[in-house]
Chains A and B, each alone.
Chain A
Amino acid sequence: MTILLILGSLFGLLLVGVPVAFALGGMGLGMLLLGGFSPLMAPQSLLSTLDGFILLAVPLFLLMSNLLLKGGVGRDLFSAVQAWVGHWPGGLAVATILSCALFAAISGSSVATAATIGTVAIPEMINRGYEKRFVYGLLAAGGTLGILIPPSIPMIVYGFVTEQSVIALFLAGIGPGAVLVTLFVLFAMLHARLWGGYTPVPKASMRERATASKRALPSVALAALVILGLYSGAFTPTEAAAIGFAAALLITVFWLRTMTWAKFWEAVRESAITTAAILLIVAGAKIFGKAIALYRIPQDISAFLAQTIDGPIMFILVVSVVLLLMGLVFEALSMILIMTPVLLPAAMGLGFDPIWFGIYMVIMVECALITPPVGLNLYVIQSVARATLADVARGVWPFLMLMLFTVGILYLVPDLALYIPFKW
């Protein structure tokens, strides 16, 4: 009963428009006061959250991708990839997915990925006669790769709240990310074969390819540096983010020569605003998390799940349905922050690896990003393409199926995630 009351009040606060951070923090503080617990826990939690070294990676990865964004890297990446694969069947669609994957390796956010590549790719594809809904779905879904392919802000947050290794999570995202990219590419080519109707792009000459690649190369090299640096143990995630920021500055100032003081300050300011908004939610969730721990709610839910659910398959099925439903109205970070403390103990009790479970959560959150009525990537594509939400939402469902299919593969072959970090 208490549980329903608490969750009901929280959802109530969220739905009347209290910002997520204050709804979580305020509920937590209220519960502390009502339960006779010390309210000192609220400021203590806020401080201790921001005192996590790993969270420094959040502003730094944002700075890195915002600098590259302001430096026009999105267009460069798309042109380069298009020069290589644009003449394939469904070539522009394939180029779009690959550009999303490349930008995902620079950016930790799905919205940024969808917006960046969408701005360039949508007009291009529509002009060439690709079916609109397919284009919208492709970009909304392609954008979600941003949080599965490292770096990933939700993975940093998951690692922070569960005290799991963020490097392991990053590396574990590569395998499923590659599978998802492959599935998307195959679907795009199949769609082109079956529906056609677009004007193919002429094959680019070697000179065009070289020119386009030259501008994209440093960004790709930077992404590789970050991932290889993490893989080889040369840097911690936070340091990788710092190096990425410094390198992004060098690339945009000296190589691409697109950086100006105004753009630089805009990137710095934008990163700071996003960081503050994100980390305040993490901190608010921490207050809420402590309050529900004092009321013993995660333990009760875990025990309930353990009693009623029979075996790992049932668990994943039930949890997936719950997360899909929750994902209809919630955004990514809140879902991870609210559900992880409740689900992870039960999952580990059933023998799931915490890193594997983190990747699973990230893919489920990706689904939430593209399911209406609340799906950030839907909104982004809607505004970039000036389309209706209904059109975008209809284009998305085949990609949603592919993502759930990937969850299935991940369940059957856990090494898809765990091989790279632990066995390679």
Chain B
Amino acid sequence: MGCPRPCNMSVISRISRALCAIGAVLMAATGAMLTYEVIARYFFIKPTIWAAELSQLCLIWGCFLALPHLLVLRRHITVNAVTNLLPERAQKVCAAFALVAIIVFSSIVAFYGWHIFYDSFSRGRTTGSLLNLPVWIAELSVPVGFGMLALQGLVELIRLPGAGTTSLGATHE
């Protein structure tokens, strides 16, 4: 409403939402894999070679995929003790500043994260662990997650003037 390209923006938010759901599934999957691992090792003395590494990969991807949607939900942990005392206009200025900080940080991280990914990809680096997967599989999560986070940050910044909330999150565990 009142925003210039509502359609494109809701596309980005919808992608973020879907990525978060995928992230949640990945994290729950770690539970299944590691339970299987304990049973295999404890009862059959036959530990898997994949459970530990795949679940680690799921955690990495799961976390970074969830980040953009956390911004939509305003669930990034934030100290509101001071900003809560300000008038609403000033609160929005603070929130805009915080969003710019997030966008700048995420863009830089995504940019250099891409370099790291590309370097490992072109060198064909592997983890050298029991499963010996290519390293880039994990590293790709940084440019994807933080690239999306920067985009989502931009969407939130454009929407901020009309938004009901001002803070980007709460002091929560």
A residues sitting closer than 8 Å to B (CB atoms) are 13-23, 25-26, 29, 39-40, 42-44, 46-47, 50-51, 53, 55-56, 59-60, 63, 109-112, 153, 234-235, 238-239, 241-243, 245-246, 268-269, 271-281, 329-333, 373-374, 376, 379
B31 touches A43 (CB 8 A): no
Complexed CA–CA distance, A163 and B78 (Å): 27
For the complex, is B27 an interface residue (Cβ under 8 Å from A)? yes
Tell me whether A242 and B109 are in contact (CB under 8 A): no
Would B34 and A17 count as touching, CB distance under 8 A? no
A376 touches B34 (CB 8 A): no
User: Does B42 reach chain A (CB closer than 8 Å)?
Assistant: yes
Chain A contacts of B34 at CB under 8 A? 56, 60, 238-239, 241-242
Contact A269 B21 (CB under 8 A): yes
Q: Given A111-B173, A238-B34, A273-B70 in contact, is the A43-B113 Cβ separation under 8 Å?
A: yes
Which residue from A44, A153, A281 sits with its C-beta under 8 Å from B116?
A44
A19-B77, A26-B101, A332-B173 given; name 19 further pairs at CB < 8 Å.
A13-B101, A15-B79, A16-B83, A17-B83, A17-B97, A22-B105, A50-B59, A50-B63, A59-B62, A60-B30, A153-B173, A234-B42, A239-B34, A239-B37, A242-B35, A268-B25, A268-B27, A277-B70, A280-B67
State the 5 A-B residue pairs at the shortest beta-carbon distance, nearest first. A242-B34, A272-B24, A19-B76, A43-B113, A276-B66
12 residue pairs bridging A and B, Cβ less than 8 Å apart = A22-B101, A22-B102, A234-B42, A235-B42, A242-B30, A242-B34, A245-B35, A268-B28, A271-B28, A273-B69, A280-B67, A331-B171
Q: With the chains together, A62 CA to B80 CA distance in Å?
A: 24
* Chain B interface size, under 10 / 10 to 19 / 20 to 34 / 35 or more: 35 or more
B123 within 8 A of A: no
List residues 58-106 of chain B with CB under 8 A from any CB of chain A: 59-60, 62-64, 66-67, 69-70, 73, 75-83, 91, 94-95, 97-98, 101-102, 104-105
Cα distance A239–B20 in the bound complex, in angstroms = 24
A242-B105 contact, Cβ under 8 Å, with A17-B168, A47-B142, A59-B62: no
What is the CB-to-nearest-CB distance from A382 to chain B, in angstroms, rounded to a whole number? 12
Asked if residues A39 and B167 are in contact (CB atoms below 8 Å), the reply is no
A92–B35 CA distance with the chains assembled, in angstroms: 38
Please tell me which one of the listed residues A25, A60, A277 contacts residue B105 in the complex, with CB atoms under 8 A apart: A25
A19 touches B112 (CB 8 A): no
Q: Which residue of B lies closest to A234 (CB)?
A: B42
